[in-house]
Amino acid sequence: MADSLPHLPILNALLHHSQGNYRGFHTPGHHSGQGIHPDLADAWRITGLQLDLSEIPGLDNLAAPTAIIAQAQNLAAETFGAEKTWFLINGSTVGISAAIMATCGPGDRILVPRTIHQSVLSGMILAGARPALITPDYDPVWGLALPLNSEQIQAALKQYPDTKAVLVISPTYDGLCPDLVQIVEVVHQQNIPLIVDEAHGSHFQFHPQLPMSAIQAGADVVIHSTHKTLSAFTQAAMLHHQGRRVSPTRISQCLRVLQSSSPSYLLLASLDVAREQMATEGESLWASVLGLVDDLNQALDNLPSAIQLSAEFLPAGVTKDPTRVTLGTWPLKITGYRADDYLTQSHHLIGELPTLNYLTFLLGLGHTRADINALVQSWGQLIETMAENYGQKYLYTQEWQTLNQMGQISPSLGPITTPIVDPRTAFLGLQQQVPQAQAINQISAEWICPYPPGIPWLFPGELITEPIMAQLLAIQQAGGIIAGASDPTLQTLQIIDA
């Protein structure tokens, strides 16, 4: 069927992929429908597109909920332990922007890690907030950013006493979590609200072997991408609130400005059903997933050169989400992008996050023992291929060594700069497009970030430096996707027109 739709490129690609028998270790969390609640699956099979409705009588209104949507949001707040919950149909992005706008006005300072997602940058631009950037520690072996700790935040609050809000990420894209209880204590001592981007941790609440959720830790505002690790449809998310430091009325106002006025009831229903699934059987479902994770870890331990990101690599106070399995590609002297390409093309197995140094796989609802066995066998064959085919199709040792000699495979994002101009001013001001060489030492007017995970290496107001450009070009050369740039080739860049 897919081949007969030449003028429908998106539908054609979706059908082609669905017929490819791929095993996905990536979002969305329902994993091709295998983990979705049976009630929603049955409703979709029976009524299909008849469920795609708008705000007709009897279906309430997301912008001013008083009936079924209000009831569903109240049930979600009860399930997740919040005082109030909002359903989001523009993803976590809209929740993060609303949280920043509800706590910061033009010129107000917000304390954030340098490794923020681009949605945080969007929120700062919309609010007119000025970022105070905290440089995270980096793991020198894996080349990944660690979550912020309470000591770093406390020091930053002393340096920036005018801070109006603090935002942290937990978990990181790699599944790493800080000691949120300590962070909450430090931030609340100054009577400052704490926003937690918990986009990848909406499942934490539902099993004792998972990290503590930000709501349990006492954060004021928590944003969940419910579609990433639970069974809601892609783009469906939640914003949770507790305490008196942030006005729920203000959050509602900001969401009315930001969210679509034509919400998808399919997304809303999927949030409601995902909540019910967790409320009634969440612990048992995640117990099954964690059992598969244990089996996978044991099998990988028996593979030569299969190095996992585990507790031995992490500092005290940092915990890891066990459902994210990260395998190092640096022992094989290949990039994660190349490993991802090999697994996709040769084994129809797709991971969640490739980087220069590793490849992360996401395990969750709907995965089976057959999926685990396929991952172990595929990674074992990847190792054998690297060892046996020097100089052939899937050997990238020379490429990796070349990049390493250039200093482009680095244990960090490279030099981290403080914005010279606040992001809103840089984004809205006059701009000009110049060749890459002329952009060095100029102020960026755009954000540029490898995607996934969507963490900007440059954002509006920052100085463009040679080391940062070298790292971006290395990622591009290795097969990574660079998002946000007006010129995706990076041959030209947008800078502030002084």
pLDDT band at 141 (very low <50, low <70, confident <90, very high): confident
Give the model confidence (pLDDT) of 343-369 as tens digits: 999 999 999 999 888 999 999 999 999
d(CA 324, CA 312): 16
Mean pLDDT within 411-426: 67
Structure tokens at 391: 């100089």
Q: What is the mean pLDDT of the chain?
A: 89
The CATH number given to 47-53+62-278 is 3.40.640.10
- Closest residue by Cα to residue 435 from 467, 477, 464: 464
Q: What is the pLDDT of residue 451?
A: 67
| Half-sphere exposure of residue 260: CA atoms within 13 angstroms, side-chain side | 16
Residue 187 has pLDDT above 90, yes or no: yes
Q: What is the pLDDT of residue 181?
A: 98
The CATH number given to 423-496 is 3.90.100.10
Residue 488 has pLDDT above 60, yes or no: yes
- Domain segments of the chain as ranges: 47-53+62-278, 283-393, 423-496
Give the model confidence (pLDDT) of 247-278 as tens digits: 999 999 999 999 999 999 999 999 999 999 99
Mean pLDDT is lowest, of 91-100, 122-131, 447-456, for 447-456
Superfamily for domain range 283-393: Aspartate Aminotransferase, domain 1 (3.90.1150.10)
Q: What is the pLDDT of residue 63?
A: 94
Mean pLDDT is lowest, of 145-154, 373-382, 477-486, for 477-486
347 exposure class (CB count in 10 Å sphere: 0-12, 13-18, 19+): middle
- DSSP lists the bridge partners of residue 23 as 349
Give the model confidence (pLDDT) of 194-231 as tens digits: 999 999 999 999 999 999 999 999 999 999 999 999 99
C-alpha distances in Å from residue 497, one per residue of 284, 360, 430, 431, 449 = 57, 40, 5, 5, 22
Q: What is the pLDDT of residue 480?
A: 77
Q: Which position has the higher pLDDT, 467 or 414?
A: 467
Contact 474, 408 (CB under 8 A): yes
Mean pLDDT is lowest, of 226-240, 348-362, 389-403, for 389-403
d(CA 70, CA 85): 9
Q: Which position has the higher pLDDT, 218 or 36?
A: 218
Mean pLDDT within 129-156: 89
C-alpha distances in Å from residue 484, one per residue of 300, 400, 444, 457 = 36, 26, 12, 10
Mean pLDDT is lowest, of 71-75, 395-399, 445-449, for 395-399
Q: What is the pLDDT of residue 409?
A: 40
Q: What is the pLDDT of residue 4?
A: 57
